Amino acid sequence: MHFRNRLHLLRRAYYFLPFVLLLSSCTQPKEQTTAREPSAISFEGQPLFSPEPSLELVEKYNEKKAAYEQDPSKLDNLIWLGRFTAYSGDYEGAIQIYSDGIQLNPNDPRLYRHRGHRYITVRKLDQAIEDFETAAKLIEGLPNEIEPDGMPNAQNISVSTLHGNIWYHLGLAYYLKHDYQNALRGFSNGLETSSNDDNVVSTTHWIYMINRLLGNEEAAERALGGITPQMDIIENHAYHQLTLFYKGELSEAELQGDGSAGDAILYGVANWHLYNGDLVLAREQMKKLTSTSSWASFGYIAAESDLARGF
């Protein structure tokens, strides 16, 4: 192209550039200026935000909401609405649903069990403990029952019970408060509720860690007595791996897990380094865990609690 023609085109482009930029700015979507409310506040006072739920999860939530609206007098409908409200990331909304249910059904342990779980998620540990202690009293003398899974495992087989979940989460809430004696009471009672292998490995994992933290190495080793590689694990593979690791039958490099299972493994290993004297590595691994976005997992919450306490 001739030099004068090129110069002419450049001048025209420069002339129209402000109008092009103006048009572009008008057609771009504006940024949201409305601040999101945090879903929880960390132990160190930082806001925590839930990710957007998947379309599949939204559809399931809408199903539970429709069922509840069709028959709000059916307690199962309220419980399922609360569970999927929590799965969608609205933990305070779920807490309010269970609170409404407790107003009408103050003697149903399921409501305290589920509300207590979500109090743990939002780091309100005293309220969680109060709910689980209430639930534990309400189940005295009552037969145990299988608790249906909200998020079924690959085999679609429920591996937990109502009594087991009440004691397990009570133990966890005390553990997060660093009240290890009461935590041990919770997990030990949880171990007694069911002999299925998934329950054995999940409760044994915490019982072992608590005894090690208390300096009770012999009790910790005794807790691992029933752990074998041949156990029939349906869901709690991370806890099975960790208990085998504690026994020396798996190496740290062999531990594998994704999502909340990966968080459980990372926390278990970090804690193992802690009570074996390597505080620097333990802190590094807990910092790594709490730098992720999976702040609702138990492994993350436990690491956050330990770091907030400064070991």
For residues 230 and 250, what is the distance between their CA atoms, to the nearest angstrom? 13
* Per-residue model confidence as pLDDT tens digits over 238-292: 999 999 999 999 999 999 999 999 999 999 999 999 999 999 999 999 999 999 9
Give the number of domains in the chain: 1
Compute the mean pLDDT over every residue in the chain, rounded to the nearest whole number.
Answer: 90
- Considering the domain boundaries, does residue 35 fall inside one? no
- Considering the domain boundaries, does residue 235 fall inside one? no
Task: Find the mean pLDDT for residues 188-198.
Answer: 97
Which tokens in the block code for residue 196? 């299925």
- Considering the domain boundaries, does residue 165 fall inside one? yes
For residues 121 and 132, what is the distance between their CA atoms, to the nearest angstrom? 14
- Considering the domain boundaries, does residue 95 fall inside one? yes
CATH of the domain at 167: 1.25.40.10
- Considering the domain boundaries, does residue 168 fall inside one? yes
* Per-residue model confidence as pLDDT tens digits over 15-56: 333 333 333 333 333 333 356 799 999 999 999 999 999 999
Inter-residue contact 203 to 197 (CB < 8 Å):
no
Domain containing 96 equals 55-142+161-177
**What global pTM score does this model have?**
0.88
HSE-CB for 2 with a 13 A CA cutoff: 3
